[in-house]
Amino acid sequence: MSPPRALGRLQFHAGFTLDDAVGVVGYYARMGVSHLYASPILRARAGSTHGYDVVDCHEVNPEIGGEDALRRLVAALRAHGMGLIIDIVPNHMGVGSENAWWMDVLRHGRESRYAGYFDIDWLAPDPLVKGRVLLPVLGAGYDSVLREGHLRLGKRRGEWVLRLYDDYLPLSPASVATLADDAERSHDPKTDRGRARLHALIEKQHYRLAFWKLASDMVNYRRFFDINELAGLRIERTAVFEDTHRTIFRLYAEGLIDGVRCDHVDGLADPRRYCRQLRHRLERLRMQRPEGAARDAAYLVVEKILAEDESLRLDWRTDGTTGYEFMDQVSAVLHDERGEAPLTELWRRLTGDGADFATQAVKARRQILVDSFEAELARTARALFAAARADVATRDVSLAAIRRVLIELLVHFPVYRTYAGGAGRDAFDESVFARAVEGALRTLRGEDADLLYLVSRWLGGEAPRALPPGSVRRARERAMAVFQQATSPVAAKAVEDTAGYRYGRLLSRNEVGVDAARMAIPMAAFHDRCAERLATFPHTLLATATHDHKRGEDLRARLAVLSEVAERWVITVERWRVRHADLRQRAEGRMAPSAADEVMLYQMLVGAWPIGLAPDDEDGIERFATRIAAWQRKALREAKRWTRWTSPNEPYEDACEDFLRAVLSGDAAAEFHAFAEYIATPGAANGLAQSVLRLTTPGVPDLYQGTEYWDFSLVDPDNRRPVDFLARSASLERDVSPVDLLCTWRDGALKQAVLQRLLCARKTHPELFARGTYRPLEATGPAADKILAFVREHRGQKLVVAVGRHLAPWLGGMSAPAIPAEHWEGTSLALPPGKWTSLLDIGKRDGGELPAAGLFGDLTVAAWLSAR
């Protein structure tokens, strides 16, 4: 049962528990999925909707049913011959009163047995923070919160605590040892004397309370990105590794789980060491697993964003990544590069912004460093400064100069992170630094150039192990580790959560793990990536939808059609801009929405327009408008131009929402509906193409919950809405041929039927899909460029797959994603010799030259299996 054939991802929370999942096991088994793929299952903060804020590593989350429910789910899975992969969070934990480890640190400070579990800088230079933990938890300034009585002394379970709003903080044993029984009255913040006493007591604690907006400037624990409630772990310490993974290892040894997906591996000090250590521990436990549980190697993938020319390191001993690079590749091959020039020109002309995506990303990095990561920047600069001071040859280097150099390196860093260790940088990381240094030299003042080269050398250009043991080596190793942990969150916040919401040339290319600067790739490049994947990570995950995606997989597929009909889109947008000019408002000194925000809104309206929504359906339009409004407000804040999360510009946001609702009223809604209808069928063809490629190219397909039907979801929380499994199960039970579902394609059953047939083929022929060779096939004829095809082969059995692409000229405005045979006239594909059966129920064929109309039947995708 290992490696998995296909995963079905489920998001667990109080509204969808492990027992709820028991009820859908049979459905996923009929679909052909081999393993369920669970969001984090360990105890998270109360009410968590995602599970990434784990507060107790030793317990299965009671909100989703606890361990008893987990055992019931696994029993149901085993009864169907299925397994379970779970998401784990090694980088960080949720902090607060629910986390006993964190509370012990706050109570005992550096003397806590868990002080070394969290990545806390106890030596921060601020004397008010040094030796303490900065807690940015106050809703206003400290004095104001104190005077208003939101901080007060109280008792909880017989112990003195500090009450903060509706929560509490522990007090150090020494500070409360002499408190009298009437201490609550004598420390009453409503009186001057009581307030002074309470302040004096607070000052004795192992933490310093601060206004939450000061976090980015002052926080002295490593966070997950810029989220104050998620504190980084020192997972590189063996004791921490073992304690945080204790339950995971037990569940694996007991046969309850079959593998793990490691969240945010780039946040760790040493991802390579962690992955190898995790693999080693799982291997040692493998033979302890009970009868009935898979004894094959545990499945192990890591969440990792790879640059276009970057590959996951083979020596990490993982099975691959969670599939963002495939999401990029399959999207790019379905876009039409001919649309790039007109769409770029439209964007530049309407917005007045000539900056390309790379320039936007650099600008965003520079802003993010100041807005969100000042504390992390200072921490990294101090680590480099310590490396300078450790060596007498560089003791005169100033902290200010190091900071200047560091900023330019981070601003121009071309990947999420590097992985230098004791041996220094490898060849790829060396090329990364060369590009970063080249970029930094363009913006750095000339006097700092020599220091830039020096800092680059400290950060792995010179192998630390080549240095003699001592303070210089230790300081270099520390600086290198801190720097490498800093680059990833800066990249993620700047690229995914800022530039991706600013640059709106074509939003289908603004996605996690995607370089929005590149609109399309040729078929040859896609084939090369597939062959490379088979040779290196044949069991890596292939994803087109995740819990983190910005736009649903079929929304992106529909928007990709705009690259094919760019001229028509340009004219349409220009007309809408003129037509809706009177609906814009002046808010806070600027017009709302801005041209950029308006152009992106139009894309989302036609891309996400629900199938079947009529423009005169007032209730349906209202529901759609509410969803888009939530996306819009989040997008505006993430862009950080006119508003942001830390200081919302509500007049601008409200004006943008007013504009949205105005353009969706009356006749304007009919125009959006008409354009959405025009691109709907070629968009559906794209959706089917990317689904088929995900299930047939080398790798393990990941089926995100609910996406068996068309997925026009928006960014979270919209993409985590409840799934109607009853409807999906009912349509699956009807077992209708994909061809016969063409006339009712809008309900999603067509997509589900295609997925189910290919997933079941994977089940019947696992070795062909898992190990089969990959060879591109070239069609011939006038429409050859519209066919992407390949053959997989294993021990004489073959699978030929073909998908249509760039079909808007044929399908635009059509009632169904079915291509009239005359469009394929003169185009064919040679099937290898043998007897062939369609996996999509369109008949049987002999090998040889096959006309494209016969290859596809009435569909836009094809999969043919040969007899042995």
Contacts of residue 547, defined as CB under 8 A and 6 or more positions apart, other chains included, come to: 9, 11, 39, 50, 704, 716, 719, 720
- Of the candidates 36, 34, 9, the one whose C-alpha atom is nearest the C-alpha of residue 22 is 36
Do 61 and 124 have their domain in common?
A: no
pLDDT at 1: 47
CA distance 414 to 690: 28
CA distance 414 to 81: 44
Domain for residue 862, yes or no? no
Region at 640 (left for phi over 0; alpha for psi -120 to 50; beta for the rest): left
Do 361 and 498 have their domain in common?
A: yes
Q: Dihedral, CA atoms, 100, 101, 102, 104, nearest 10 degrees?
A: 80
- Of the candidates 638, 345, 637, 360, the one whose C-alpha atom is nearest the C-alpha of residue 517 is 360
pLDDT at 292: 85
Give 495's DSSP letter: I
Q: Is 123 exposed, middle or buried (0-12, 13-18, 19+ CB in 10 A)?
A: exposed
Of 229, 257, 273, which marks where a domain is finished?
229
Question: Strand 83-88 vs strand 259-262: parallel, antiparallel, or unpaired?
Answer: parallel
Do 386 and 443 have their domain in common?
A: yes
Do 462 and 418 have their domain in common?
A: yes
CA distance 418 to 481: 10
Do 360 and 488 have their domain in common?
A: yes
Of 502, 524, 540, which marks where a domain is finished?
502
Give 328's DSSP letter: H
Q: Which domain holds residue 398?
A: 356-502
Query: Buried b / exposed e across 517-555, counting CB within 10 Å, b at 16+?
Result: bebbbebeebbebbbebbeebbbbbbbbbbbbbbbbbbb
State the CATH number of the domain containing residue 137.
3.30.1590.10
Do 315 and 438 have their domain in common?
A: no
Domain for residue 333, yes or no? no
Cβ count within 10 A of residue 125 = 11
Q: CB-hemisphere CA count at 13 Å for 140?
A: 10
CA-to-CA separations, 152 to 8, 99, 100, 205, in angstroms, rounded:
48, 21, 21, 14
Of 179, 212, 229, which marks where a domain is finished?
229
pLDDT at 375: 94
Taking the chain (868 residues) in runs of 10, the rounded mean pLDDT of each run is 88 98 98 98 97 98 98 98 98 97 98 98 91 97 96 95 96 95 95 97 97 94 96 98 98 98 97 98 96 92 95 98 98 98 98 95 95 95 96 94 97 96 95 97 95 96 94 95 96 94 97 94 98 98 96 98 98 97 94 97 98 96 98 97 95 98 92 97 98 98 98 95 97 97 97 98 97 98 98 97 98 95 97 96 95 97 93
pLDDT at 667: 84
DSSP-based three-state secondary structure for 745? helix
State the CATH number of the domain containing residue 287.
3.20.20.80
Q: What is the enclosing helix (H) or strand (E) of 669?
A: helix 667-696
CA angle 215, 221, 222 (to 5 degrees): 95
Domain for residue 313, yes or no? yes
Cα 155 to its chain centre, rounded Å, is 42
- HEC letters along 678-712: HHHHHHHHHHHHHHHHHHHCCCEEEEECCCCCCCC
Do 143 and 205 have their domain in common?
A: yes
Do 468 and 578 have their domain in common?
A: no
Q: Is 474 exposed, middle or buried (0-12, 13-18, 19+ CB in 10 A)?
A: middle
Do 204 and 119 have their domain in common?
A: yes
CA distance 510 to 328: 10
Domain for residue 53, yes or no? yes
Instruction: Provide DSSP, 217-284.
Output: HH--B-EETTEEEEEEB-TTSHHHHHHHHHHHHHHHHTTS--EEEETTGGGSS-HHHHHHHHHHHHHH
Domain for residue 852, yes or no? no
Q: What is the enclosing helix (H) or strand (E) of 737?
A: none
State the CATH number of the domain containing residue 583.
1.10.10
Residue 775: what are its φ and ψ, rounded to 5°? -140, 125
Q: What is the pTM of this model?
A: 0.96
- Report yes or no: 672 and 610 within 8 Å, Cβ to Cβ: no
CA angle 95, 101, 104 (to 5 degrees): 105
pLDDT at 2: 63
DSSP-based three-state secondary structure for 622? helix
DSSP-based three-state secondary structure for 353? coil
Show contacts of 621-628: CB within 8 Å, 24+ apart.
Answer: 621/664, 621/665, 621/669, 624/664, 625/660, 625/661, 625/664, 627/714, 627/718, 628/601, 628/604, 628/660, 628/714
Q: What is the enclosing helix (H) or strand (E) of 433?
A: helix 427-443
- Any alpha helices (H) in 296-418, and if so which ranges? 324-334, 340-351, 357-371, 374-390, 399-411
Question: Strand 541-542 vs strand 320-321: parallel, antiparallel, or unpaired?
Answer: unpaired
CA distance 215 to 521: 42
Token readout for 673 is 């509906």
Contacts of residue 284, defined as CB under 8 A and 6 or more positions apart, other chains included, come to: none
- Report yes or no: 508 and 560 within 8 Å, Cβ to Cβ: yes
CA distance 775 to 593: 49
Do 655 and 641 have their domain in common?
A: yes
Beta-bridged to residue 301, according to DSSP, are 261, 320
Q: What is the enclosing helix (H) or strand (E) of 828?
A: strand 828-838
Do 111 and 177 have their domain in common?
A: yes
Beta-bridged to residue 169, according to DSSP, are 162
Domain for residue 454, yes or no? yes
Q: CB-hemisphere CA count at 13 Å for 811?
A: 27
Q: Is the peptide bond before 3 cis (omega within 30 degrees of 0)?
A: yes
DSSP-based three-state secondary structure for 321? strand
CA distance 373 to 217: 7
Cβ count within 10 A of residue 292 = 7
CA distance 564 to 337: 8
CA distance 421 to 440: 23
CA distance 739 to 841: 8
DSSP-based three-state secondary structure for 585? strand
DSSP-based three-state secondary structure for 798? strand
Query: Buried b / exposed e across 74-93, counting CB within 10 Å, b at 16+?
Result: bebbbeeebbbbbbbbbbbb
Domain for residue 351, yes or no? no
Query: Buried b / exposed e across 691-715, counting CB within 10 Å, b at 16+?
Result: bbbbbbbbbbbbbbbbbbbbbbbbb
Q: How many structural domains does the chain have?
A: 4
Do 585 and 659 have their domain in common?
A: yes
CA distance 742 to 745: 5
Domain for residue 712, yes or no? no
First to last CA, the chain: 23
- Report yes or no: 232 and 223 within 8 Å, Cβ to Cβ: yes
Helices then strands, counting H and E runs in the chain, come out as 32, 26
